[in-house]
Amino acid sequence: MAITYYRMGRKSDALAVIHALEERERRQWVDPDFIAFAYAGIGDRDHAMEWLEKAYRLKTFGVRILLSWDCPMFRNMESDPRYQELKRRVLATKLQG
């Protein structure tokens, strides 16, 4: 929903959806991959990286899939050295386990 709002030009609504997810995550499990995906979809690399790192630390299945395949939502992050380093770690982890 956040990405749809953003693409409609409703950035404040997009951020409200993401912030609601973050608030819910404080009380119950919300997969950090979803929040990272939403931030990437609105072009916020810093917050997307924050949530991707959290997903990596929690060893979520989604972060392995998102970073090992060519996920369109993360293409805008390919030039970010932090993203490349995380992707390298994810792929190295997959090879080990």
The DSSP line for 28-86 is: S---HHHHHHHHHHTT-HHHHHHHHHHHHHTT-HHHHHHHHTT-GGGGGGTT-HHHHHH
What is the pTM assigned to this prediction?
0.88
Percent of the chain exceeding pLDDT 90 equals: 69
Task: Give the domain range for residue 32.
Answer: 2-96
Percent of the chain exceeding pLDDT 70 equals: 96
Residue reference for tokens 């997903």:
55
Is the predicted pLDDT of residue 19 greater than 90, yes or no? yes
Is the predicted pLDDT of residue 7 greater than 80, yes or no? yes
Give me the number of domains the chain comprises.
1
